[in-house]
Structures are given as structure tokens and as C-alpha cells.
Amino acid sequence: MDRTEADALERARAIHDDLSAWRRQLHAHPELAFQEAGTAATLRGFLEDLGVRPSAPMAGTGFAGTVPGRVPGPTVALRADMDALPIQEANDAPYASVHPGVAHLCGHDAHCAMLVGAAKLLADDPPARGAVRLLFQPAEEEGGGAERMIEDGALESPEPGAIFALHVDPSVDVGRIALRNGPVHASVGDFDLVVRGEGGHAAKPHQAVDAVAVAGQVITALQQLASRAADPVHPFVLTIGTVEGGFARNVIAPEVRLSGTVRTFDPRQREAAPEWIRRCAEGVAGAFGARIELEYRHGYPATVNDASLRPWAEGVAASLLGGDRVEEAPTSMGGEDFAYYGRVVPAFIGRLGVRNEGRGLVHPLHHPKFDLDEEALPIGAAWLAGVARRWLDDAAA
Ligand code: NI
């Protein structure tokens, strides 16, 4: 390495204005999963300005870019997600979303800007050997863009030896990075459950099967799965998110439709969940003469950080910030489709602190007022570039 890692953060801070400008342009023009055409065009333009040629489209709107080292060698991948959320932003910043009902409230705008920043840092001072593949993927929030990227060859020819990513974290102070080995994001399962009874007159319940009353029992019983069916040392969350049913106050509802989600790290609980729900709901509904229909869909698998990559993730974070600013990250029951990359190659996702209480930047991800401290952007860009560079150096050695 001709320049030391110690001044890597200084070099990243020198492009702070670019990072903010890129992030703000993306933030103002958010797009939902698999609709990121404008976002992708913007990002392709940023990369071309740096002399990095974007690939043909992958996964619809996604694409890759490659920053070559000085001589050929192994490949390492870095990933950013491009999609926004179907939420109305409640911030009045000059860069607030101009698209009603759509906003970057999970920080994916920052992820993309930091990956472009990493591309700039790497292009200005290429790694000695190998290549860095930059993955800009669609649809992290919904639809599993990562899985589609892999289907379209994002991890092929050649296969990268490792993949790294960062997610912004408003529970961690700006100037810090949080890391964790092993499971970091839970698996996701979604279900629709219909409780079918028999309609009737509200005053004559004995002639009907009240789907509302049965659904109430089913909801209560399903909560017992977390405490009685799941292993207490393995977290298990079941949430019923919607309840719909009935026509009028004086009519017994013939059916109630419930929908919900299941989160766990444990693959056995992930596999068992549909049968647990079916058995519980069928039994309770059957006790009152009602029937159920269950549709269950397995979503993202659990994201498991490969502990063998921790030395790069932590070593670079410590050299940028100081070891006392690298903390242990908590696990999250939220899903993250970075999981799919980890099924193919060693993968590690870190958390970048973006919280700043003094400036009121404290709202959680997906909150209508979520915003981040842009002082985090050079840190994230330097970390991404740094882990790629250091991993390539070590892989070559
Ligand atoms: Ni996110």
C-alpha cells in the first residue's frame, strides 16, 4: 500500500461534498422496489463520471461496476441497495422526497452514495492487485432483489472471494461502527390466514359461527407459539399485522382475514412455523366449529455474518475510527436480503452509526422523520473501500 490507511478517512472527508450531493439527489427522487430506473440511471452516470463502466442490467434495475486493481488477482464485492419505502416523508429538508408517499427512510440513498464514494476512492488509488465489484441491487425492502442479482450472475465470472456491505443504524452514534459475527438479521415468513365461520343475525349467535369471536381466540392462541412452541433460547416473533372482517354491527361476520409475519434466526423454527400456525389455528377454530385457510410464504433467510471476515471489517473500522469506536452490534429481528449473498460466498454486513442527538437525528429506520448525519458518509465510503483494499491485499499475500 503506497498510502497508509490512517489517512484514508481524510481522503474520504475530502469528497464529503460529493457524497452529500449524491445522497441528496437520490434522496429527493426515491423509487420503490424494482422501479428504481431513475435511481439506477443516476448512479450509472455517477460511475461513468469516475471512469467506471456499469454492467448490463441485472435483476431489472440493478447493475454492477468493476474497479480493477493495478494487476489481475482475486475479486471482492461490495453491495448497496437502491430502493425506497412506500411512506410519506415527514422531514422538510431541502433534499426531502419530491415523490408523494415514497421516501428513502431506510438509508439506502446513503448506501448507494457511499458505494459510489468507495468507487471514487478506489479508482483514484487502485488496489495493488485484483478487482472490486460494486453491486447496486434493487428491491431490498420487498421482493428479494439480492436473489435476482445472483440469478443474473452478480457473483459469477469470477466469483468474488468475499462480499461486504454496510447498513446505516440510527441507534449507533455517528463516528462509530457496530459489528457482529453470526446471525444479525432474522429470517422472514409471511402468512395470510382466513377464519371461516357462518354468518347470521347478531342477536342469534347460536344459529351462526362468529368468525370475529373465533379470530380473536386464534390471535390470542397464536401468541402462545412464541412462548410455548419456540425454544426460549432462540428468538421467535409472530405478529398479526392486519385484521379484516364483518359488514355491520348487527351482523355476525362469516369470515375474518388475518395477515402476519414470523421472524426467527433458527432454521428449524423457520421450517416449523407454518405447521405450528396451521395446527394452532385449526385446533382453536375447530373447537368453535370454524375452519381456517392458511397461506404461508418463506421470505428472506436469516443473515449470518461470516466470522472469518471479521478481521477485515473490524481492522479497517478500528484504523479509521480508533478501536474504542467499534462496538458490538445487537441482533435485529428485521429481515435483510443480504442473506442471499451469504449463501453463495463469505459475507459480512456492518452497521454504520448515523445518530446525532444534538441535531435531532434520532428517529428509527422506516420512521417518517428518519434522517441521518451525513458526517457518516465519508466514514462509510472509507470503510467500504478499506475492507475491499485490505481483503485484496491479504488474499494476494
Ligand atoms: Ni434497509
Instruction: Please indicate, yes or no, whether residues 306 and 167 belong to a single structural domain of this protein.
Output: yes
Domain C-terminal end among 298, 329, 354: 298
Residue 2 has pLDDT above 50, yes or no: no
In which element (H, E) is residue 252 found?
strand 251-252
Q: Closest by alpha carbon to 174, among 371, 347, 389? A: 371
pTM, rounded to two decimals: 0.93
Quick one: pLDDT at residue 145?
97
What CATH number did the domain enclosing 104 receive?
A: 3.40.630.10
pLDDT value, residue 6: 66
The alpha carbon of 171 and the centre of ligand 1 are apart by a number of angstroms equal to 14
Of the residues 261, 283, 298, the one at which a domain ends: 298
Q: Are residues 122 and 169 in the same domain?
A: yes
Contacts of 204 (CB under 8 A, 6+ apart): none
| Ligand 1 mean position, distance from CA 107 (Å) | 6
> Bridge-partner residues for 64, per DSSP?
135
- Cα–ligand 1 centroid distance for 222 (angstroms): 28
Cα first-last separation, the chain? 12
CA of 207 to the centre of ligand 1 (A): 50
pLDDT of residue 397: 80
Q: Are residues 50 and 126 in the same domain?
A: yes
pLDDT digits (tens, 9 = 90+) for 82-141: 999 999 999 999 999 999 999 999 999 999 999 999 999 999 999 999 999 999 999 999
163 membership: H or E segment, kind and range? strand 163-173
Separation CA 168–CA 334 (nearest Å): 14
What pLDDT, in 10s, does the model give residues 172-216?
999 999 999 999 999 999 999 999 999 999 999 999 999 999 999
194 CA to middle of ligand 1, Å? 31
pLDDT at res. 3: 53
d(CA 154, CA 308): 22
Do 66 and 143 have their domain in common?
Answer: yes
pLDDT higher than threshold 70 for residue 269: yes
CA distance 321 to 176: 7
Query: How far, in Å, from the CA of 47 to the mean position of ligand 1?
Result: 22
The answer to whether the beta carbons of residues 215 and 246 sit under 8 Å apart is no
Whether the predicted pLDDT of 1 surpasses 60 = no
Residues 139 and 227 in one domain: no
Ligand 1 centroid vs 210 CA: distance in angstroms?
A: 41
The rounded Å distance from CA 167 to ligand 1 centre is: 7
Q: Please state the separation of Cα 276 from the chain's center in Å.
A: 27
Q: Provide the residue range defining the domain that includes 319.
A: 5-185+302-396
Based on the domain organization, do 102 and 170 belong to the same domain?
Answer: yes
Number of domains within the chain = 2
In the predicted model, what is the mean pLDDT of residues 255-276? 98
CA of 136 relative to ligand 1 center, distance in Å: 13
Query: What pLDDT band is residue 396 in, cutting at 50, 70 and 90?
Result: confident
Residues 140-161, mean pLDDT to the nearest whole number: 97
Look up the CATH number of the domain holding residue 293. 3.30.70.360
Closest listed residue to residue 379, CA positions, set 322, 320, 329: 320
pLDDT per residue as tens digits for the range 215-231? 999 999 999 999 999 99
